[in-house]
Structure 1
Amino acid sequence: MGHPLACRDRRSMSRLAVDFGARFADFVAWDDAGLRILKRPVSGDMAADLVAGLEALELEAERLQELRLVTTAPLNALLARRPMPVALLSTRGFGDTLRLGRQNRAALYDPVARSPAPVFLVAPEDSHEIGGRLDATGAELAPLDPADIAAAIAGLRAREVRAVAICLLFAHVNPAQELALAEAIRAALPEVSLSLSHQVDPAPREYERTVSVLSDAWLAARMDAPLAAVRAALAARGFAGELLFGDGRGVLVSDAAARAHRAILLSGAPAAAARAGADLSADGVVIAADIGSLSADMSTGRGGQPGMSETGLLAGVPLREACTDIESIALGGTRRVGTGPRGLNFDVDEGPRLDDALAALGRLPDAGVWSAPFSPEAVVAAAADRMAYALTRYATRRNIDPGRASLAVMGGTGALLAADIAAAMGLERVLLPRAPGASGAIGLMQAARRSEAFARVDLGLEALSAEALDALLDRLEGACDGSGPLVYALSLAARRQMHAMPLILGARPASGAEIGEAFAAGFRAEFGIAPPGPGYLFSIAVYRDTRGPVPPMAELGDGAATGLIATEAGAIWCPEGWRLSRTDTAYRLERSAR
């Protein structure tokens, strides 16, 4: 599907964003003045689907300056708990760390305690313990055991493992043993991908570090081959531009950054749509719902930025990863609906789909004969009520009054339900981003490119000299290209053994004392007390975000004022009593004056 804004030479378009979903891939090609949008079914072969999209858009890969990608494939595989040929190498005595997990009770009143630990990440027979030990300061107490290493290599070879996670005790303090073990594995099995905990998640607490490095290895086993095929297909067609990936923070990172830190691939797709919603929050707070084929993702935005969480729970996997604060429910166009003790629900295996109800009401084409014992109007009302309840619950848990915030709805299914959801929440207005049927790819188009550099510090603030801090910041700033302002992201705790807390500074800190003052102010604001320690700095990241040009939004057509109204991608359902208008950046669907 194309758009008149781009009825010039299609081959001149220099940027392309692609959102690979569970059923469809959305392509947005653009330059400074116009765009083209294509939605096509996916085959499961990402490289082939990308090439097919390029051909359908008549784009020449060698002319592209940028290619921006996100995919739901790893997240969907994680949701399915799909096993991968992954192994874990840990310090002797710590092989059960994953299965023991944290002993917090997930459900306080459940008489049978069940650990939420993601044990599917590695099979018990693929977990190997290696003799050798460091103390808490990083000093070696015992060297690595060569016999254990040889036995582990034999096990990896016999099980045809493709990715290995290495997580040794206190490696975040001294990585020497992890590096030595990785060198031995690489020499024996050069084709195996290696993930090292001190590189993936260099912070204390063994369980969290084990989960992080296993997730990285799991992603290597799942995504390295299809992404390598994408790179090869692009190279074969002369692509010499920049390959960028949308990450879980709603920004773009380089291909090299994605290879080094694979967890950013997990929530890149929902975060891209959250970015499209957040761009509607420049004048206040927005709560957003992206409703697609299988699920609805909720997010917030404030001042043009998506709401963030310093830790994420993705498909039940806890990650110490700053990411867009997204929560999902099982509601989408292909979800089947049936009756239950509390009325209609969307958690059944048989029955009509939500899409069938929308088609029966004229909101989608190809309506079949409706034969369910409940009406399609009841299905749509149930879907709107479920989404309204979930959004209200999600917002209030984040101290947002849903009655005072703006509501944004997107996604192919969302654009057909937007007015129903607003009405169910008692709202008179709902916003939709441009091309709501391709919100993920539009979010990629609008996202900023992040250039960042990171360094471990591991020093108490009182021991951090101004000279050492200056030298470190000079080095990190020199590695950040782009034109945006520099931002300083620090990870600190009151004392070394405590949980880290993020601190974001918009100005370059001059000393450890200045960092300590900012940390104390942030700690008081968060917890209401002074920090119980002088301050310990784990790491510093410096970054800058650079935004590129975005083409102007299309005018609304001169067609019907109600019913299905076409946009650049996807149609918006405007019922009787509502009217649709547009701003420079969005559509506004609101009740007509009574």
Structure 2
Amino acid sequence: MSATEAWSIGIDVGGTYVDVAAVDHAGRYLRRKIPRIDKDPALSVLASLDDALQSMEIAPQVVRQLAHGSTLVTNMLLERKAPPIAVVTNRGFADILLIGRQSRVDLYAPVATPQTPRMLFPDRLRFEISGRCDAGGEEIQPLDHAELLTVANAIADSGVAGVAICLLHATRNPVHELAVAQALASTRPDLAISLSHVVDVAPGEFERFLATALDAYVKRSTQDYLTAFGDGLRQRGLPEPVIMNSDAGLRPLAEVAAKPLSLALAGPAAAMSGFSLHGAQDANDAAACISVETGGTTTDIGLIEQGGIVCGRKIEIDGLTISLRATDILSVPIGGGSIVQINQAGALRLGPQSTGSIPGPAAYGRGGRLPTLTDALVVLKRLPTTLAGGLVLDAAAAGQVMAGIAAALGCDVEAAANAVVAAAAAAIAEGVKAHAYRHGIDPTGARLIAGGGGGAQHAAEVADLLGCDHVLVPADAGVISALGCLAAPEMAAAEVALDLPLNEACWSMLLAAVQTIADKAEGRTEIAWSLEAVYQGQSVALEFVFHPDRDDPASIAQRFDQVHARVRGHAFQREMRLLRLRGQWVTRPAILQAAIPAKSVTATDDVLQAGPATIFTETSSLWVPAGWQCRMTADGGFQMQRVSRTGTRPNLLKGAA
């Protein structure tokens, strides 16, 4: 390859595979799926990148950009194996993190358990200090510097790697948080420090404190990974990476290292970026698109409306409700590694436990001894004998572990495998319905789009349960996240916390906040603006589009009423309050204009395959059930269409759940 070439690389790290996609200025497009071979995340991704570049014959000196997405932070929040962190807060507020909102997730539990695990920030590591600012940001009690030094020394002696500084009303005046950070850094310069006014600019003590504590919890490990990854790239002559964030935008490595919680849903966000290339093509298109991406541990369900990825302000990870702007994803604990069990009542259960990539399903031949969804698919011959990256599947091992499930259910092995696959489809379908209806979307009228290693295996059966008639499987669905890293824009944003009634008297204050953000945008004119607001007395805000150049209080009120009616089913005639202003600007990767496969999803007239049948591609496999047909699309993907309702519906067997 000539030295004048310029390539962009997208690399996404999952539990089982490292996916790599590459495009150049001439429109050439290459991709690889490489099994992970090392438990160390940085070494694993670097080794996989070496393998991919060598096989694709791309020299490091012709790589112009490298975009990276991973599930590192997600896994840390799920596994919770990192050392605990310290928390510094105002006197009398050390238990905010444990008190939470006292939500009764389990209505029948005799005791309401804390929303946050105490082990992440135990009692001995939560420190209180004097000093206070009021809700307007005015200092009403100065810091006690002698006391602060004592706390700083105690934290230094504790040996913790991270500290979260969470002070009241810091979003209105951060001077106390900055002073605390300076004192801590003077005693332990190596501390990873997170400041609440940096992590979340909005009011709401518990949400902001929790997000800050979790940011500190994942900071040291994430910074170590990013440093090792960046150093490895530099040693290979590759450029410093841009990193996929949870909002489906790319940001510089240093910015991400300063606020690593922004990576909490980076993996699913990368997939949503890839799906958006093939989802709703027109911003005026009223049809919503529902994405289903099945990996090794979870199935991630996302939404695309009017050409844009649906984002939200809160994410859920294993019981933790985190205040973070991210693609609005619902993760269902169903993946290829989901473990099959028979519970005490004799019912079949799938997940939420997973074997992970090592040892993985029994069919991987790596010593796995527990039956999984992948083993069921192997028994049914719905997977190829060799997966991407040369991973040879052991059908005998899969049959052996599934035999125990069959014996417990009182059926043959094939029937047991069918029950497992049907349970997966049912769980995913319920997740799709819950997520879609929460956003006022009827899934029967939406487009279903499938990706990931297993999404196309289950999508048609899920559509059957939803009442959908069409499923789109994009070209290279198996590397949709790596493709999404390539397609994502470099993104920057600024936010201002507000607490203003919506009226003419406060309009000048809103416009002043607009100017504050515009100054940070350094002359950019294409800024996407949004506001968050509530009716007076509400606590949970809704976000909606804002046009500073042509909006007025009346038009804002009307737009908020419309959004509130659509999402919550009604609107009130009462005063509104503005809580947050956001401005966002992006830089689109120009290299993609000619490189990404055509976006057309028009199917050919010729039927490629009628169900029941399996179609194998280089990076994924599709299952076409009975009553369905599959056609090739113009961009090399697949369009599955239901042609009759007489096909066999999934059978969960008696006693299966």
TM-score by length of 2: 0.80
- Tell me whether 1:346 sits opposite 2:350 in the alignment: yes
Per the alignment, residue 364 of structure 1 pairs with 384
Q: Is the 8 A contact 1:204 1:497 kept in 2?
A: no
Per the alignment, residue 449 of structure 1 pairs with 490
Which of the numbers 34, 42, 47 marks the counterpart of 2:28? Answer: 34
Per the alignment, residue 3 of structure 1 pairs with none
- Tell me whether 1:544 sits opposite 2:586 in the alignment: yes
Residue 477 of structure 1 and its aligned partner are, at CA, apart by 3.7
Q: Is the 8 A contact 1:167 1:210 kept in 2?
A: yes
Per the alignment, residue 567 of structure 2 pairs with none
In 2, Cα distance between the equivalents of 1:585 and 1:532? 52
The percent of aligned pairs where both chains have the same amino acid is 28
Residue 229 of structure 1 and its aligned partner are, at CA, apart by 0.9
Per the alignment, residue 561 of structure 2 pairs with 524
Within a 5 Å distance, the mapping from 1:213-292 to structure 2 comes to 213-240=212-239, 243-278=241-276, 279-282=278-281, 283=285, 284-292=287-295
Which of the numbers 624, 629, 635 marks the counterpart of 1:584? Answer: 635
Within a 5 Å distance, the mapping from 1:314-393 to structure 2 comes to 314-340=317-343, 341=345, 343-347=347-351, 351-362=370-381, 363-365=383-385, 366=393, 367-368=395-396, 370-371=399-400, 372=403, 373=406, 374-375=413-414, 376-393=417-434
Give 1:516's aligned amino acid. Answer: P
In 2, Cα distance between the equivalents of 1:295 and 1:421? 15
Residue 547 of structure 1 and its aligned partner are, at CA, apart by 4.7
Within a 5 Å distance, the mapping from 1:136-535 to structure 2 comes to 136-240=135-239, 243-278=241-276, 279-282=278-281, 283=285, 284-340=287-343, 341=345, 343-347=347-351, 351-362=370-381, 363-365=383-385, 366=393, 367-368=395-396, 370-371=399-400, 372=403, 373=406, 374-375=413-414, 376-455=417-496, 462-463=505-506, 465=508, 468=512, 471-472=515-516, 474-478=518-522, 480=524, 485-492=526-533, 500-505=541-546, 507-509=547-549, 514-525=551-562, 526=564, 528-532=571-575, 535=577
In 2, Cα distance between the equivalents of 1:225 and 1:479? 35
- The DSSP-based 3-state class of the residue aligned with 2:339 is coil
Q: Note the aligned Cα RMSD (angstroms).
A: 3.2
Per the alignment, residue 18 of structure 1 pairs with 11
In 2, Cα distance between the equivalents of 1:294 and 1:537? 37
- Change in Cα spacing, 1:11 to 1:211, as seen in structure 2 (3 Å) is farther
In 2, Cα distance between the equivalents of 1:105 and 1:338? 28
In 2, Cα distance between the equivalents of 1:325 and 1:68? 21
In 1, Cα distance between the equivalents of 2:477 and 2:518? 42
- Change in Cα spacing, 1:195 to 1:35, as seen in structure 2 (3 Å) is same
Q: Is the 8 A contact 2:340 2:373 kept in 1?
A: yes
- The DSSP-based 3-state class of the residue aligned with 2:296 is coil
In 1, Cα distance between the equivalents of 2:346 and 2:561? 45
- Change in Cα spacing, 1:206 to 1:468, as seen in structure 2 (3 Å) is closer
- Change in Cα spacing, 1:60 to 1:360, as seen in structure 2 (3 Å) is same
Residue 455 of structure 1 and its aligned partner are, at CA, apart by 4.5
In 2, Cα distance between the equivalents of 1:253 and 1:41? 27
In 2, Cα distance between the equivalents of 1:22 and 1:332? 11
Q: Is the 8 A contact 2:531 2:578 kept in 1?
A: no
- Change in Cα spacing, 1:141 to 1:397, as seen in structure 2 (3 Å) is closer
Q: Is the 8 A contact 1:448 1:547 kept in 2?
A: yes
Q: Is the 8 A contact 1:417 1:573 kept in 2?
A: yes
Residue 469 of structure 1 and its aligned partner are, at CA, apart by 5.8
- Change in Cα spacing, 1:389 to 1:568, as seen in structure 2 (3 Å) is same
- The DSSP-based 3-state class of the residue aligned with 1:321 is strand
Residue 385 of structure 1 and its aligned partner are, at CA, apart by 2.7
Per the alignment, residue 45 of structure 1 pairs with 40
In 1, Cα distance between the equivalents of 2:596 and 2:101? 50
In 2, Cα distance between the equivalents of 1:352 and 1:60? 42
Q: Is the 8 A contact 2:82 2:218 kept in 1?
A: no
Residue 471 of structure 1 and its aligned partner are, at CA, apart by 4.5
Give 1:190's aligned amino acid. Answer: P
Residue 426 of structure 1 and its aligned partner are, at CA, apart by 4.2
- Change in Cα spacing, 1:496 to 1:573, as seen in structure 2 (3 Å) is closer
Per the alignment, residue 4 of structure 1 pairs with none
Residues 379-408 of structure 1 deviation map (CA, whole Å, 9 limit, x = unaligned)? 323322332233233323332222221112
Count of equivalent residues = 578
- The DSSP-based 3-state class of the residue aligned with 1:191 is coil
Q: Which runs of 5+ in 2 are unaligned?
A: 355-368, 386-392, 407-412, 565-569, 647-657
- The DSSP-based 3-state class of the residue aligned with 2:114 is coil
In 2, Cα distance between the equivalents of 1:186 and 1:19? 34
In 1, Cα distance between the equivalents of 2:209 and 2:4? 47
In 1, Cα distance between the equivalents of 2:443 and 2:535? 35
- Which sits farther off after the overlay, 211-220 or 131-140? 131-140
Per the alignment, residue 654 of structure 2 pairs with none
Give 2:320's aligned amino acid. Answer: V
In 2, Cα distance between the equivalents of 1:226 and 1:479? 34
- The DSSP-based 3-state class of the residue aligned with 1:403 is helix
- Tell me whether 1:71 sits opposite 2:70 in the alignment: yes
Give 2:575's aligned amino acid. Answer: P
- The DSSP-based 3-state class of the residue aligned with 1:346 is strand
Residue 13 of structure 1 and its aligned partner are, at CA, apart by 5.3
- Which sits farther off after the overlay, 524-533 or 62-71? 524-533
- Change in Cα spacing, 1:530 to 1:559, as seen in structure 2 (3 Å) is closer
Residue 67 of structure 1 and its aligned partner are, at CA, apart by 1.2
In 2, Cα distance between the equivalents of 1:187 and 1:578? 67
Per the alignment, residue 409 of structure 2 pairs with none
Residue 113 of structure 1 and its aligned partner are, at CA, apart by 1.7
- Change in Cα spacing, 1:117 to 1:55, as seen in structure 2 (3 Å) is closer
TM-score by length of 1: 0.88
- The DSSP-based 3-state class of the residue aligned with 2:80 is coil
Q: Is the 8 A contact 1:336 1:351 kept in 2?
A: yes
In 1, Cα distance between the equivalents of 2:420 and 2:73? 31
